[in-house]
Copies of this chain bind each other. A is one copy, B any other.
Amino acid sequence: MTTTQTTPQVQQWVNLAQQLRVDSIRSTTAAGSGHPTSSMSAADLMAVLMTRYLHYDFDNPQNPNNDDLIFSKGHASPLLYSMYKAAGAISDEELMTLRKFGSRLEGHPTPVLPWVDVATGSLGQGLPIGVGIGLVAKYVDKLPYKVFVLLGDSEMAEGSIWEALDHASHYKLDNVIGILDCNRLGQRGETELGWNTAAYAERAKAFGWNPIVIDGHNYDEIDHAFSHAVEANNGQPTLIIAKTLKGKGVSFLENKEGWHGKALSKEQAEQAIQELGVQGRSRSQVYPVPRPESLQPAPEPEKKPLELPKYNVGDSQATRKAYGDALKALGAANPNVLAVDGEVSNSTYAEEFAKAFPDRFFEQFIAEQQLVSTAVAMSVRHKIPFASTFAAFFTRAYDFIRMAAISRANIRLCGSHAGVSIGEDGPSQMALEDLAMMRAVYGSTVLYPSDANQAAQLVAQMADHNGIVYMRTTREKTPVIYSADETFTIGGSKVVRQSAKDEATIVAAGITLHEALKAYEQLKSQGITVRVIDLYTVKPVDEETLIAAADNAGNKIITVEDHWPEGGLGEAVMEAFSERDGAMPEIVKLAVQSMPGSGTPAELLEEAGISAHHIVQAVRALVRGV
């Protein structure tokens, strides 16, 4: 240790840091895999943090005054878990279960552990979420807790990191403290910037942060940096840029290539532990972590009864507008509802909420990764976030949505401008893969309303629904077909047309339901009666209604969707039948089969083969063979 002090405090830090290193080695060696060296570089930083600057009540992880500590470099989990042991939160025995089947101590941290707020391991995500938490602390909770984020230097190459730096300074989040463990070595060699801490500092400064460059193994410097960071009140977030050595403290690991993500053998571990000089009992010292204050979050206004907007049957309204109207109604009823948008709130209609509740709306600009991260952060702090942008642009944040599911986050996403029916703007703006993308998220719910009253009701239910809930809305105005009194539930569908002599069933949702209804009339005039199902919940799909339709309407189904053929509504319908005994019905899928260009919505629906005209043809071919 290159420190000038030898006070009892410094000695405590030395002891703790060495214990953290030893435990990082012991646990990974026991596991036979993991990241000891990436843990060891940050041990001194974390030793100082946890004994002096982090305020955390391990007995009550839900204490609203707890600081947040996020390991954005999630692969340093052995260090995090060793800190939990040092804090007395887990036993040495549990620490040794690292990476074993059934253990809470997974290869990368997840909220299976009560002290982990968000899953990390996909690099570049911890900081964006930390920034979101800082935003909640400052503007919503109005509590003085801090957010500490441990960053790896490799992940500074991720664009999402720079979205986070940008947003943190825009929102003046001086409660956010990044700790960059600049150990120079990435997975397969030197990182892009190596130990060029000046370059990181210049970049951070240009993005409105206060960079502090230190030797990450010098306790004076570490202590001073944290002390400065937690006192910041000028609106500037702090980035502590710590030059460190990967594998610090062990001669054959320190600053050596070829040791990323490798556990030591038993013999190597013994030698390393001997070098680290921690013997016997002192390996399992418990170090008190400062307790947080006992403040209460800003008092919430009382909840009020929900008064959803109502639309008249026969009028025309876009479901995206109903989203905005309903979100505003929800905001009036429940002060815990927050909204974020990716600088398109006048298109998604999140602006209805933003205008009514400017204090609870946070513009995320055109930075979809940060958009989703902020929503996840709001969920961490028990708010009810709604995030919106064009449906196509949620593809930008798919990794964040995937990780949000692992984080067990409760977030509501609304994507507008779905499918070819948006018309003239062309394919870059058309979501044609969003249903596939969102269905393939663990535990997700996927909604696709076809009518304004239905959309409004579903928005209200989204607020109370757990997990990742996605609503796809339509750009175009469509006829209001349901009265405001009709009820819709997540997981449900609606049989819109039926008779005793139905020969087939058309399953549609959103824009294509209106094409299906036109097709119904044309077919009826030709003497063919079909059932029409509005599959407004695409996941979980309403198996009962679909199976009943197959059983009672000729065992023939036509699905129609404004989406590529893969992974969307059609495949969701098939999924329903793979669960039941016996052969599946005859299913014909209409979906977008060629790359669209620009045109009117009607022209593009026709060209895509999903217009009323194509539905009529498909039904005739299926039931009449012509």
Query: Which residues of chain A have a CB within 8 Å of any CB of chain B?
Result: 31-34, 74, 99-103, 105-108, 110, 112, 119-124, 154-155, 157-163, 166, 170, 186-188, 191-192, 199, 202-203, 205-207, 343-347, 351, 365-370, 392-393, 395-396, 398-399, 402-403, 405-406, 424-429, 432-433, 436-437, 439-443, 539, 555, 564-568, 570-572, 574-575, 577-578, 581-589, 595, 597-600, 603-604, 607
Contact = CB atoms under 8 A, between A and B. Distances in A.
Identify which of A158, A206, A369, A429 gathers the most chain B CB atoms within 10 Å of its CB: A158
Contacts of A600: 101
Given A101-B598, A159-B367, A439-B566, 14 more contacts: A102-B599, A105-B598, A107-B429, A122-B396, A157-B365, A187-B346, A396-B398, A405-B595, A432-B442, A440-B568, A567-B567, A574-B575, A577-B587, A584-B585
A343 B583 contact: no
A584 B587 contact: yes
Contact of A424 (B107, B187, B392): B107
B154 A163 contact: no
A572 to B, nearest CB: 8
A585 B587 CA distance: 11
Contacts of A399: 368, 392-393, 395-396, 398
Nearest to A354: B188
A403 B432 CA distance: 11
11 contacts: A32-B424, A106-B426, A107-B428, A121-B428, A186-B365, A187-B343, A191-B365, A395-B398, A398-B399, A436-B566, A583-B584
Quick one: copies of this chain in the complex?
2
Given A101-B600, A365-B192, A395-B398, A586 B583 contact: yes
Contacts of A107: 424-426, 428-429, 598
Nearest to A584: B584
B170 A428 contact: no
A82 B566 CA distance: 37
Identify which of A32, A99, A170 gathers the most chain B CB atoms within 10 Å of its CB: A99
A182 to B, nearest CB: 14
A124 B598 CA distance: 21
Contacts of A575: 565-566, 571, 574, 589
A575 B578 CA distance: 12
Identify which of A207, A425, A432 gathers the most chain B CB atoms within 10 Å of its CB: A425
